[in-house]
Amino acid sequence: MVKLRLRRMGAKKRPSYRIVAADSRSPRDGAFIENVGFYDPITDPATVTVNIDRARYWISNGAQPTETVRSILTRAGVFAEAAE
């Protein structure tokens, strides 16, 4: 099963994350299928960059976002079109 999840990047004690589409069996920082966005929680406010078209593509093809990624994508407006 494909999941949209966070892949940890950055330095020690200063994490930043890539939002990626990855097989659920692969490790957190292991192989992934596609990079969908970027999330930096350290900045104030948190920096979020998402390729909305690709995120919607993966969700429409059955990818399951994790709770954190679902929250980030909701704030980015990925699910806004479906709600209308």
pLDDT tens digits, 3-27: 999 999 999 999 999 999 999 999 9
Q: b/e for 42-67, b at 16 or more Cβ within 10 A?
A: eeeeeebebbeebbbebbeeebebee
Give the pLDDT mean for 48-64.
95
Please give the backbone phi and psi of residue 12, each rounded to the nearest 5 degrees, phi first. -60, 135
Cβ-proximal residues to 80 (8 Å cutoff; 6+ apart), any chain: none
Give the pLDDT mean for 30-38.
95
Superfamily name with CATH number, domain 2-83: Ribosomal protein S16 (3.30.1320.10)
Domains in the chain: boundaries: 2-83
Tokens 């069996």 found at: 25
Please give the backbone phi and psi of residue 63, each rounded to the nearest 5 degrees, phi first. -70, 135
Whole-structure pTM value: 0.88
